[in-house]
Amino acid sequence: MTDDRPGVITGKTTLFGILGDPIAQVGSPVQFNRLFRSLDHDAVMLPMRVASADLATAFQGLRALGNLAGLVFTIPHKMPMVELVDELMPNGKRVGAINSARPTADGRWQGDMFDGQGCVNALEANGHSLEGRLVSQMGAGGVGRAIAFAFADRGIARLTVSDLDESRAEKLAADLRAAFPDLAAEAGPPGVGNHDTLVNCTPLGMNPDDPLPFAESDMGGGMLAVDVVLQESLTPYLAAADAKGCAVQTGLQMLEGQVREIARFFGVGTTT
């Protein structure tokens, strides 16, 4: 006897997962499961907490699941997964990080990165053009690299990137200069100098006692403040930016901007 009610998991249900550590903050299961229901697609996305030390073992085991159709990756797995998939798609290769992977018919796994496209999609949907912008970005990890390359694709004029690991910031700046010779890309302190766009690509804001990624004195009217941290309400950083007259974009908006992109990558709702 089967149960065909919408949203009921059966033996026919296709599985997707999101891997991260921590995992409680992720919004992908809600967004993807809502999309699956809207498309009448018999699938479910599950959160999977996997520590960094266990990532390779967990991925090797998950590859053996015949009804697993795709994985999404969040902190801290976006860069390490580059070494674990069998094939990097073009954007994942240039960014050096992935947030999604899918199996092929022959059992190989392909990985690609959609964080940057999701961020840009959300900004443009809300009427924000990136062309000519002067960007100060905190964070040069997987999501930071993805957003920096996506912003460069849209014609920003300058990007100053900061990271606790200065060598990581220097590498991102160098990679951007190599790919976009007309872009003034450099590593430097956050918010220093003339910028009209502030982007937080770090976990700062996930915990209530976290410091702000940018000083309030760096924020001002007419500026754009972007955060990747997923939270139902404004993060302390975005709340401060909003109070200073900045236009703000949340991590949730960024996630919404990439869900259909990743779904298409998984072959859900359209052909790949």
How far, in Å, CA of 2 to CA of 151, rounded?
48
CA–CA gap between residue 35 and residue 262 (Å, rounded) = 11
Residue pair 143/239 in contact by the 8 Å Cβ criterion: no
Interior angle at CA 80, CA 165 and CA 252, nearest 5: 80
DSSP 8-class letter at 209 = T
Do the Cβ atoms of 253 and 225 come closer than 8 Å? no
Give residues with Cβ within 8 angstroms of 202, minimum separation 6: 138, 139, 141, 144, 213, 228
| Amino acid at residue number 263 | A
Catalytic residues: 78
Eight-state DSSP code of residue 223? -
What token pair was written down for 90?
């073009």
